[in-house]
A and B are shown apart, each in its own frame.
Chain A
Amino acid sequence: MVNWTAEEKQLITGLWAKVSVAECGAEALARLLIVYPWTQRFFSDFGNLSSPTAIIGNPKVRAHGKKVLTSFGEAIKNLDNIKKCFAQLSKLHCDKLHVDPENFRLLGDILIIVLAANHGKDFSPACQAAWQKMVRVVAHALAHEYH
């Protein structure tokens, strides 16, 4: 079980309340595909990913980004039970989607940058630390059922 301090929980839920899940999710996924282009390997059926502009405007990317970040929101509602919360998703990513867990870490790092860009000074060092821990925990949970 993960040990969250009260301060960490507050920094995570407090910032989350200000996040536009659809926008943030779309941006995070788009940036993942742009900054780490090899991650496009999982999205061959998404249509046009030929340029940053194409990726940012791609409706499938936007929709999937929203889906992914909505899932994140579930983890935030279940901070004390993330592994259990993501057990099924973990199996899915291993058995059906065949996603190397390293990709969860990459997306987590990108999400941090998107949050930083959208929240400026509010994204204090303590806030960054709490969120970096959050994305690490989520990545770990998503990899937990891999075999």
Chain B
Amino acid sequence: MVLSAADKANVKATFGKIGGQAEEYGADALERMFITYPQTKTYFPHFDLGKGSAQVKGHGKKVAAALVEAANNIDDIAGALSKLSDLHAQKLRVDPVNFKLLGQCFLVVVATRNPSLLTPEVHASLDKFLCAVGTVLTAKYR
């Protein structure tokens, strides 16, 4: 799966418009993921996952920052996320299926907060981008 020039433009424009709210989007996506897919909570036994949790907000910020970084380096996502990829392979070992779940929740957040942004074309590009990020993060698993 390859990101076309149009995909890259769509993704960059989307994150440009989301701007500083990316952190909130990240936290919102995580909250939705924990509620919609409770099995994902198993990776966070050390977190307070209650509503408004500062830990979830903090982690959402990290996730969002990584997505922004990937978007800003969209021609080399593997390079940009190399350290994160190592971390997921060696330490975190989050099962690959879960990246799709978080991706779905991120799309839902964009849809609820900024529906006009999510045209079918942008929806497709973002979905591909999120897939690509998941692929990079699991690339060194074995």
Contact = CB atoms under 8 A, between A and B. Distances in A.
Contacts of A118: 115
Given A113-B118, A126-B35, A34 B124 contact: yes
Contacts of B120: 30-31, 34-35, 52, 55-56
Given A31-B120, A52-B120, A123 B35 contact: no
8 contacts: A34-B121, A35-B127, A52-B121, A56-B120, A117-B115, A120-B115, A125-B35, A128-B32
Contacts of A113: 104, 107-108, 111, 118, 123
Interface residues of B, number: 19
Interface string B84-98: 000000000000000
A128 B127 CA distance: 18
Interface of A: 30-31, 34-35, 52, 55-56, 109, 112-114, 116-121, 123, 125-126, 128-129, 132
Contact of B123 (A31, A125, A128): A31
Interface of B: 31-32, 35-37, 104-105, 107-108, 111-113, 115, 118, 120-121, 123-124, 127
